């Protein structure tokens, strides 16, 4: 079952990235990137990891906008993916890209 879940998570990551680029282009999301998705075993929910460049206020605003749009996004996924069940989407901050950038700058300056 691990392979099936990984494929589903990969599919959701790709499709959510397209939703950000095309369907939510008019929203003020800043530079947001879907970095991954982790789906619960029972498919009830999916944690969507989002990296947002900018200050803390920008990250918080972007995550709030995405969470507010979660129902709309879930509807889009339902139309496109033809899955029996689309999980509830929970958007969380993924600091990995910011951390990598910070480490890179430290190494460069150090």
Specify the pLDDT at position 103: 77
Specify the pLDDT at position 88: 97
Specify the pLDDT at position 105: 78
| Structure-block tokens of residue 74 | 């879930």
- Tell if the pTM clears 0.95, that is, is over it: no
**How would you classify the pairing of strands 88-93 and 31-39?**
unpaired
> Which of 83, 65, 81 has its CA nearest to residue 25?
65
Domains of the chain by start residue, with CATH: 2-109 (3.30.300.20)
Specify the pLDDT at position 99: 66
**Residue 45 contacts residue 87 (beta carbons within 8 Å):** yes
Specify the pLDDT at position 31: 85
Specify the pLDDT at position 8: 95
End-to-end Cα distance, the chain: 45
Specify the pLDDT at position 97: 67
Torsion-angle region of residue 48: left (phi > 0), alpha (psi -120 to 50) or beta? beta
Q: What is the DSSP string of 12-71?
A: HHHHHHHIIIIITTTS---EEEEEEEEE-TTSSEEEEEEEEES-HHHHHHHHHHHHHTHH
pLDDT along the chain (110 residues), means of 10: 86 96 85 94 96 90 95 95 92 80 76
CB-CB neighbours of 66 under 10 Å = 25
């Amino acid at each position: 079952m691990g392979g099936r879940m990984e494929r589903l998570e990969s599919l959701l990551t790709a499709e959510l990235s397209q939703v950000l680029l095309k369907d939510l282009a008019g929203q003020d999301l800043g530079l947001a990137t879907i970095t991954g998705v982790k789906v619960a075993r029972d498919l009830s929910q999916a944690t969507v990891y989002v990296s947002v460049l900018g200050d803390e206020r920008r990250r918080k605003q972007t995550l709030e906008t995405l969470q507010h749009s979660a129902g709309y996004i879930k509807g889009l996924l339902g139309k496109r993916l033809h899955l029996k069940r689309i999980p509830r989407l929970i958007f969380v901050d993924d600091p990995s890209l910011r951390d990598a950038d910070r480490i890179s700058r430290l190494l460069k300056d150090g």
